Amino acid sequence: ETGVTQTPRHLVMGMTNKKSLKCEQHLGHNAMYWYKQSAKKPLELMFVYNFKEQTENNSVPSRFSPECPNSSHLFLHLHTLQPEDSALYLCASSQGGGISFFGSGTQLSVL
């Protein structure tokens, strides 16, 4: 248990569905991140939030919409996804530039 909890663990959705991924950290960190991990590709940073403010959007398509209502919670809203969006989505948190702690991820399959 790393102190970062992601739900759901697995998600199957059609291309016309709308779903959300949730991440919660119990570590008191001020920064939260979404990463995408596809097969045979490096981990890709998607979004960075510091003190609830988005500080980085790594050219992510608008069908991915993040939300950070407070420093402990991070959401990733999904709509009209494509099959190539199927991947493991990892949430992480850190205190400034310190160690990033990762959740177990949501394995997303888009049909």
Partner 1 sequence: AQSVTQPDIHITVSEGASLELRCNYSYGATPYLFWYVQSPGQGLQLLLKYFSGDTLVQGIKGFEAEFKRSQSSFNLRKPSVHWSDAAEYFCAVGAPRGSTLGRLYFGRGTQLTVWP
Query: Which of 13-21, 50-58, 64-72, 77-85 is the region at the interface with partner 1 (rule: CB under 8 A)?
Result: 50-58
104, 23 in Cβ contact below 8 A?
A: no
Residue carrying the six token digits 């596809």: 38
The site string for partner 1 over 5-44 (x = CB under 8 A, - otherwise) reads -x------------------------x-x-------xxx-
**Main-chain phi, psi angles of 85, to 5 degrees:** -85, -5
Query: Of residues 17, 19, 24, 45, which one binds partner 1 by CB under 8 A?
Result: 45
The secondary structure of 29-70, three-state, reads CCEEEEEEECCCCCCEEEEEEECCEEEEECCCCCCEEEEEEE
Residues that bind partner 1 (CB under 8 A): 2, 4, 6, 31, 33, 41-43, 45, 48, 50, 55-56, 88, 90, 92, 94, 96-105, 107
